[in-house]
Amino acid sequence: MSTETILHGHEVEEAVHSHEEHGQHDHHHEESFLTKYIFSQDHKMIAKQFLITGIIWAIIGGLFSVLFRLQLGYPDQSFPFLEDIFGKWAKGGRISNEFYYALVTMHGTILVFFVLTAGLSGTFANFLIPLQIGARDMASGFLNMLSYWFFFLASVIMFASLFIQTGPAAGGWTIYPPLSALGQASQGSKLGMDFWLISMAMFIVSSLLGGLNYISTILNLRTKGMSMTRMPLTMWAIFFTAVLGVLSFPVLLSGAVLLLFDRNLGTSFFLSEIVVKGEILPNEGGSAILFQHLFWFLGHPEVYIILLPAMGMVSEILSVNSRKPIFGYMAMVGSLFAITILAFLVWAHHMFVTGLNPFLGAFFVLLTLLIAVPSAIKVFNWLTTLWRGNIRFTPGMLFSIGFVSLFISGGLTGIFLGNSTLDIHLHDTYFVVAHFHIVMGVASFFGMFAGVYHWFPKMYSRYLNNTMAYIHFWVTLVGAYLIFWPMHYQGLAGLPRRYTDFSNWQSFNQFADMNRFISTVAMVVFVAQLLFVFNFFYSIFKGRKVKSQNPWGSNTLEWTTPVTPGHGNWPGELPEVHRGAYDYGKDGREFIPQVEPIGANESKH
């Protein structure tokens, strides 16, 4: 018996069956390669496009971090291969300062926007919304397609900026003017910055098209019986994410456009009284701080745009694999709502030391720390969901548990930074780096991985390899803590962010060994991610086939579609929903799908 038959032998029967089933519905629209894989309007294909583009960006963005960690971890060593690849940017095998700042900036931009916004909510909003609310597709398949292609355009422009002579943007991902407005002040503020701004403008268009689509689909296309309060928490999370994006991204767009004007048309929105390299500029009356307000009015909600979908998916996966209802469904929805509202009211906590009016600052402290309350509710509800469950450690579940751990660790350090008194000391130190990497970087990545492992069978009708998944999880979890836990100590020693070299400082030069350690672990973790990428692409073609329609024993609607759903998702009628998504372990039954009518003797919650 060949290995292929061992793995897939028993499934022939079922595969034929499901093919027949949707064959009846599909044959009337023949799709060409172009309309099926490239300009597809099927939400599932668009989701995969977002995911794979996101994966490619994640490799690039992750690689950049490995490169600048080389500089931080081994400042005295030279790596000739770097010069072979990057030429003048790494003369003598050492990363030049310009290159370092370009790498840091692009690492942030790529991972925040292209991976954790587009790659995460683009993928799962597109994939899950129609499947989980019982719709044939998004409200507008065409806008949905445009949303991907604007993202693609943004990607191309950003990618192109890596290759121009003066390099990509290099003023940090927050691109504060005047640094980002003045070509004289930095190499990275020349053409690369225009590319950055235009790319972001395209990105914002993409995210608005997507977001409006998500909102209208969730509000209008729910199947019969799917009231808002019967929706899985993933749907609520994605809904609030979309609302956040739609209301805050335009503000960043305005900031980006004004900055483009300042750069190219001689306006003075953000510029005033500047002498740069001995040159006296004519601009007066602008405010550099205004940009920071515009930036963080998106920038802070952006953190939740990244985090909320992860929270939603984790809630769903924790519940499914604990075989228990999510604890406090309404409290979970309420806390998502509270976080969404508060997300708009805390942006100035990034600006406590800009000379912000201290009285104004006080309100931002209060509102910022208020976010800890809904966050605490979520954490305790997740813990209670695990309590007395019957837990299956699927790879998705492992990443969900890892997410909760990281969310706690990173969330608690937010209480330090949100308190302006402490922020005076900790602002822009490695404490901040550790904080946001754990809570929004790694935690969201864990949410994303959880989602990929959990819904991969629905996406590709095959499973990811479990062994590789376990290795991936444990290396990543341990590695994440090994990288970012010690960084808090650097922060408590006051080490400023974005320094290429600490050796000239009396106050900051005591961490050479720690930096080497962190850099080494970072490389190992990066390689572990490549293992995931390999697993992902390998399993698309060679993974173990999915035999059952509902492999996780899950209640939600996506598992009532055929193993390989066609365009339109359900052959025949759309399913009707009779209950919430979390009837696990009820009345002695392991799970009760949403499509099952309430029984006569069924107990109330």
Partner 1 sequence: MSGYLILAILVLAFVVIFQIAKASEYVSVLNGREKTFKQNNRINGFLFIAFLVLGLAAAWWCNDMYFKKTLLAQPAASDHGEKIDFMMMLTIGVTGVVFLLTQILLFWFAFKYQYSDKRKAYFFAHDNRLELLWTVVPAIFLTVLVGFGMFYWFKITGDAPKDSQIVEITGKQFNWMMRYPGKDKVLGRKNYRLTDASSGNALGIDWQDGASHDDIEASEMHLVVNKPVQLVIGAQDVIHDVGLVHFRLKMDAVPGIPTTLWFTPKYTTEQMKKITGNKDFVYEISCDQVCGTGHYSMRGVIIVETQEEYDSWLGSKKAQYVIVKEAAAPVANDSTATVKAPLTSQPLAQLK
List the interface residues with partner 1, window 243-282 (CB under 8 A): 271-278, 280
Which residues lie below 8 Å from residue 387, measured CB to CB, with a gap of 6+? 327
Q: Is 324 in the site for partner 1 (CB under 8 A)?
A: yes
Tell which one of 438, 584, 594, 595 touches partner 1 (CB under 8 A).
584
Helix (H, G, I), strand (E, B) or coil at 252: helix
Tell which one of 86, 149, 176, 261 touches partner 1 (CB under 8 A).
176
> Exposed, middle or buried: residue 320 (CB in 10 Å: 0-12, 13-18, 19+)?
buried
State the nearest-atom distance from the C-beta of 355 to partner 1, in Å: 4
Q: Is 286 in the site for partner 1 (CB under 8 A)?
A: yes
State the nearest-atom distance from the C-beta of 500 to partner 1, in Å: 5
Per-residue contact track with partner 1, 65 to 84, x per CB under 8 A? --------------x-x---
Piece of the chain touching partner 1 by CB under 8 A; list 28-36, 133-141, 182-190, 241-249: 182-190
**C-alpha to C-alpha distance for 562 and 457, rounded to whole angstroms:** 11
**C-alpha to C-alpha distance for 136 and 44, rounded to whole angstroms:** 11
Per-residue contact track with partner 1, 442 to 471, x per CB under 8 A? -----------------------xxxx-xx
Omega prior to 178 cis, within 30 of 0: yes
**C-alpha to C-alpha distance for 336 and 343, rounded to whole angstroms:** 10
Compute the Cα dihedral for 255, 258, 264, 268 and give only its sign.
negative
Q: Which is nearer to partner 1, 3 or 227 (CB)?
A: 3
**C-alpha to C-alpha distance for 549 and 231, rounded to whole angstroms:** 20
Residues 5-24 that bind partner 1 (CB under 8 A): 6-7
| Contact assessment for residue 96 and residue 68, using Cβ atoms and an 8 Å cutoff | no
| Contact assessment for residue 479 and residue 447, using Cβ atoms and an 8 Å cutoff | no
State the nearest-atom distance from the C-beta of 134 to partner 1, in Å: 22
The size of the chain, in residues, is: 605
Tell which one of 527, 537, 548, 576 touches partner 1 (CB under 8 A).
527
Q: Which is nearer to partner 1, 431 or 570 (CB)?
A: 431
Q: Which is nearer to partner 1, 246 or 288 (CB)?
A: 288
Tell which one of 14, 26, 83, 98 touches partner 1 (CB under 8 A).
98
State the nearest-atom distance from the C-beta of 582 to partner 1, in Å: 7
State the nearest-atom distance from the C-beta of 308 to partner 1, in Å: 19
| Contact assessment for residue 579 and residue 230, using Cβ atoms and an 8 Å cutoff | yes
Q: Is 486 in the site for partner 1 (CB under 8 A)?
A: yes
Tell which one of 250, 328, 553, 571 touches partner 1 (CB under 8 A).
328
Tell which one of 416, 449, 455, 460 touches partner 1 (CB under 8 A).
416
State the nearest-atom distance from the C-beta of 258 to partner 1, in Å: 16
Tell which one of 22, 190, 263, 427 touches partner 1 (CB under 8 A).
427
Q: Is 393 in the site for partner 1 (CB under 8 A)?
A: yes
| Contact assessment for residue 460 and residue 45, using Cβ atoms and an 8 Å cutoff | no
Task: Give how far the C-alpha of residue 408 lies from the chain's centroid of Cα atoms, to the nearest Å.
Answer: 18
Compute the Cα dihedral for 298, 304, 310, 312 and give only its sign.
negative
State the nearest-atom distance from the C-beta of 37 to partner 1, in Å: 27
> Exposed, middle or buried: residue 385 (CB in 10 Å: 0-12, 13-18, 19+)?
buried
What is the helix (H) or strand (E) element at residue 279, kind and residue range?
strand 279-280
Tell which one of 2, 227, 504, 601 touches partner 1 (CB under 8 A).
504
| Contact assessment for residue 477 and residue 485, using Cβ atoms and an 8 Å cutoff | no
Tell which one of 12, 160, 228, 424 touches partner 1 (CB under 8 A).
424
Tell which one of 187, 476, 554, 561 touches partner 1 (CB under 8 A).
187
Specify the DSSP class assigned to residue 227. Answer: -
What is the helix (H) or strand (E) element at residue 40, kind and residue range?
none
Task: Pick the closest to residue 348 from 292, 394, 387, 413 (CA basis).
Answer: 292
Contacts with partner 1 by CB under 8 A: the residue count is 134
Q: What is the DSSP string of 161-203?
A: HTTSTT-S--STTTT-TTTTT-GGG-GGGSHHHHHHHHHHHHH
Tell which one of 50, 124, 236, 502 touches partner 1 (CB under 8 A).
502
State the nearest-atom distance from the C-beta of 386 to partner 1, in Å: 4
| Radius of gyration of the chain, Cα coordinates, nearest whole angstrom | 25
State the nearest-atom distance from the C-beta of 370 to partner 1, in Å: 7
Piece of the chain touching partner 1 by CB under 8 A; list 19-27, 386-394, 435-443, 564-572: 386-394
Tell which one of 50, 214, 249, 327 touches partner 1 (CB under 8 A).
327
Tell which one of 183, 225, 250, 494 touches partner 1 (CB under 8 A).
494
**C-alpha to C-alpha distance for 293 and 260, rounded to whole angstroms:** 17
Residues 333-372 that bind partner 1 (CB under 8 A): 353-355, 358, 361-362, 365-366, 369-370, 372
Q: Is 388 in the site for partner 1 (CB under 8 A)?
A: yes
Which residues lie below 8 Å from residue 218, measured CB to CB, with a gap of 6+? 129, 133, 231, 235, 238, 239, 242
Q: Is 2 in the site for partner 1 (CB under 8 A)?
A: no
Q: Is 132 in the site for partner 1 (CB under 8 A)?
A: no
